[in-house]
Homo-oligomer: A and B are copies of this chain.
Amino acid sequence: MKQEIKSELTRQLIIDKAFVLFYKNGFHAISVDKVMKETKLTKGAFYHHFKDKKELGLAVISDRIQSRVYDNMILPLLEVGDPFSILKTVFCERIKNFSIEEKQSGCPINNLINEISDSEVAYQLALKKIIEEWKLALIQLLEKAKTNNLIASEVNTSSVAVFLISAFEGVRGIRKLYNNDVVLEDYLLAVERYIDLLR
């Protein structure tokens, strides 16, 4: 019982350090050695807990990235309240509260999506699952708003969801190129206007 906990703890430690390193430097740029140097453990420990580097990558996605998106981008969508201010919370306030690190390093999902080649199916499926969950939550919110006659019936909710997610992921990439927030502020102005025009 105690062993089980310690095992899970080191597993999480490895995933933790890996997430940060992958996030900041990219998946391919970080070796197992570098991850384990950060944990102050050895390679032996790594291959005891993980089959290979791929398994670590998938664990980072499902154990860290997924929950990040769920907590920050999905959960707020499920709360009761004005759908427009909820949307602004998720797609605007979230960005305003970003740390310097989160601005410089971009979005963990987006980084991975664009780094991973089209041949690495397992990663794609894991990442797709997150995006799909996010998209679905958005559609539900928008459909509810539609039912309550808050947005026009001709609005294609799936389309709006994809557009919002795309723009969000897009700026987070673009922002990485700058060392100021001008581009984020431009984005914010545009999304806010876009969300208002849904009414």
Interface residues of A (CB under 8 A from B): 24-26, 28-29, 104-107, 110-111, 113-119, 124, 127-128, 131, 156, 158-163, 165-171, 173-174, 176-178, 183, 186-187, 189-191, 193-194, 197
Q: Which residues of B contact A111 (CB under 8 A)?
A: 114-115
Q: Is the CB of A128 within 8 A of B177?
A: yes
Q: Is the CB of B113 within 8 A of A174?
A: yes
- CB-CB nearest in chain B for A108: B114
Complex-state Cα separation, A111 to B170, whole angstroms: 11
Q: Is the CB of A170 within 8 A of B165?
A: yes
Complex-state Cα separation, A98 to B57, whole angstroms: 30
**Number of identical monomers bound together in the oligomeric complex:** 2
Complex-state Cα separation, A177 to B127, whole angstroms: 7
Q: Which residues of B contact A119 (CB under 8 A)?
A: 25
* Chain B nearest Cβ from A74, distance in angstroms: 16
Q: Is the CB of A115 within 8 A of B117?
A: no
* Chain B nearest Cβ from A71, distance in angstroms: 20
Q: Which residues of B contact A158 (CB under 8 A)?
A: 186
* Chain B nearest Cβ from A43, distance in angstroms: 21
Given contacts A177-B128, A186-B158, A190-B162, contact A24 B118 (CB under 8 A): yes
Complex-state Cα separation, A119 to B190, whole angstroms: 29
Complex-state Cα separation, A171 to B117, whole angstroms: 16
Q: Is the CB of B187 within 8 A of A159?
A: yes
Q: Is the CB of A176 within 8 A of B124?
A: yes
Q: Is the CB of A113 within 8 A of B173?
A: yes
